[in-house]
């Protein structure tokens, strides 16, 4: 790996590691004892590609990341969006089963997979933390699959509520990703995403301050759509 337009590894910068941590867990990724290195990725820069060696695990310090798979004909499925605090790239196999790119300029903490694994060998807290992250991702993935059987309006509603919960803005949600990213996450087209947002806006369930800046005027209405 280590390709793409990224900056040179900078000195390690301690991170605010609130998210992703359950009570009583080891502050994995938060100090030099495990040897993390932070890197900056430019907009659309590849962090790793499907099939590449899974030699590192990653944590978002700032910015946002999309993970995705592509079909042979170019159709793309965004499996997950990772926001500050999220850990990603942990795999059981030796190769990544999906690709990851920075959505916007992003600062990412890299930790050698071996460091984490060998640490887990001797420290059961680390092992449990590792497992709990994976289990949480599994749960998210299963809920994602649940999304994909819903109607377009329901998918958008669920997506907005999810993002509102994770981005916690000042009265509005500032989406880092494009309509295409959203479409590929929800299994829709950009046109349908756009139309659905317009429709929700016309029903004053939401308000579009800008295309990526959205006010949830009526969250409970979104929740009802969340069948």
Residues binding a copy of itself (CB under 8 A): 69, 71-73, 75, 77, 79, 90-93, 97-98, 120-122, 124, 127-128, 130-132, 134-139, 141-142, 144-146, 148-150, 187, 227
Q: Which is nearer to a copy of itself, 73 or 202 (CB)?
A: 73
Q: Which is nearer to DNA, 33 or 211 (CB)?
A: 211
- What are the structure tokens assigned to 72, written together? 């042979």
Among 208, 210, 207, 205, which residue's Cα sits nearest to residue 222?
205
Answer yes or no whether residue 195 interacts with DNA by CB under 7 A.
yes
Q: Are 187 and 148 in contact (CB under 8 A)?
A: yes
Shortest distance, position 64 Cβ to a copy of itself, whole Å: 19
Q: Give the integer Cα–Cα distance in Å for 114 and 118.
A: 6
Count of residues that bind DNA according to CB under 7 A: 21
Task: Pick the stretch among 45-53, 57-65, 178-186, 216-224 that binds DNA (CB under 7 A).
Answer: 178-186
Q: Which residues pair with 108 in a beta bridge?
A: 39, 60
Shortest distance, position 89 Cβ to a copy of itself, whole Å: 12
N- to C-terminal Cα separation, the chain? 42
Task: Tell me, residue by residue from 144 to 173, as one string, x for binding to DNA by CB under 7 A and - for no binding.
Answer: -------xxx--------------------
- Within 10 angstroms of residue 95's Cβ, the number of other Cβ atoms is 13
Shortest distance, position 217 Cβ to DNA, whole Å: 15
126 phi/psi in degrees, rounded to 5? -65, -45
139 class by beta-carbon count within 10 Å (0-12 exposed, 13-18 middle, 19+ buried) = exposed
The binding site for DNA (CB under 7 A) comprises 151-153, 178-180, 187-195, 197-198, 208, 210-212
């Amino acid at each position: 790996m280590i390709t793409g337009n990224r900056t040179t590894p900078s000195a390690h910068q301690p991170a605010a590691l609130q998210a992703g941590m359950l009570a009583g867990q080891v502050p994995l990724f938060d100090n030099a004892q495990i040897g993390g290195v932070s890197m900056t990725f430019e907009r659309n820069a590849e962090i790793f590609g499907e099939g590449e060696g899974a030699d590192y695990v990653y944590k978002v310090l700032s910015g946002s990341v999309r993970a995705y798979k592509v079909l042979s004909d170019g159709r793309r499925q965004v499996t997950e969006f990772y926001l500050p605090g999220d850990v990603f790239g942990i795999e059981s196999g030796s190769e990544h089963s999906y690709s990851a790119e920075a959505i916007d300029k992003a600062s990412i903490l890299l930790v050698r997979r071996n460091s984490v694994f060998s640490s887990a060998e001797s420290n059961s807290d680390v092992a449990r933390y590792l497992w709990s992250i994976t289990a949480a991702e599994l749960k998210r993935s299963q809920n994602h699959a649940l999304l994909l059987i819903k109607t377009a309006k329901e998918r958008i509603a669920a997506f907005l509520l999810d993002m509102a919960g994770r981005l916690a803005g000042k009265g509005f949600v500032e989406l880092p990703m494009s309509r295409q990213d959203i479409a590929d996450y929800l299994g829709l087209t950009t046109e349908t995403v756009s139309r659905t947002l317009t429709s929700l806006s016309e029903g004053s369930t939401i308000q579009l301050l800008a295309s990526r800046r959205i006010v949830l005027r009526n969250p409970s209405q979104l929740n009802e759509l969340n069948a």
